[in-house]
Amino acid sequence: MSYDNPLAARVHDYLSQKEEIRVVEKKMFGGLAFMVNGKMCINVSGNRLMCRFDPALTEQLSHRQGFNPMVMKGKSYKGYCYVTPEGYLGEGDFSFWIELCLSYNKDAPIAKQRNPKQR
């Protein structure tokens, strides 16, 4: 799956205004991931945002417009969701999701690095 370039630019522009963070863009999950301080924070996948947040907030967030649980290959991922355009098109909604991800990023665990298989 490719990603929406204008949406990725919008995320990039928002994050670039945050001087206290280090952002690296990386192709991941079939989209473009924004790694903040070494951790996956938010991803643009197609025309959706893929958000990483505190799993304890799932019930509360599930009532927001555009929220969809993240399911990949039949597996649900706690603390991740997709947000469709109707959930982020407004400036306030867009910043809500980005700030939610940034807030959790401070406490989010760093993904375990996999060792490459030896041949």
Question: Residue 59: exposed, middle, or buried by beta-carbon count in 10 A (0-12, 13-18, 19+)?
Answer: exposed
Residue count (the chain): 119
Question: Which pLDDT score, from 0 to 100, does residue 115 have?
Answer: 54
Distance CA 34, CA 40 (A): 6
pTM of the shown model: 0.88
Residue with tokens 């597996």: 75
Which amino acid does the sequence have at 47? N
Residue 31, phi then psi, degrees to nearest 5: -145, -155
Residue 79, phi then psi, degrees to nearest 5: 85, 10
Domain 5-105 belongs in CATH node 3.10.129.10: no
pLDDT band at 75 (very low <50, low <70, confident <90, very high): confident
Percent of the residues in the chain that have a pLDDT greater than 70, as a whole number: 92
Token pair, residue 63, equals 């009532």
Going from N- to C-terminal start, the domains of the chain cover 5-105
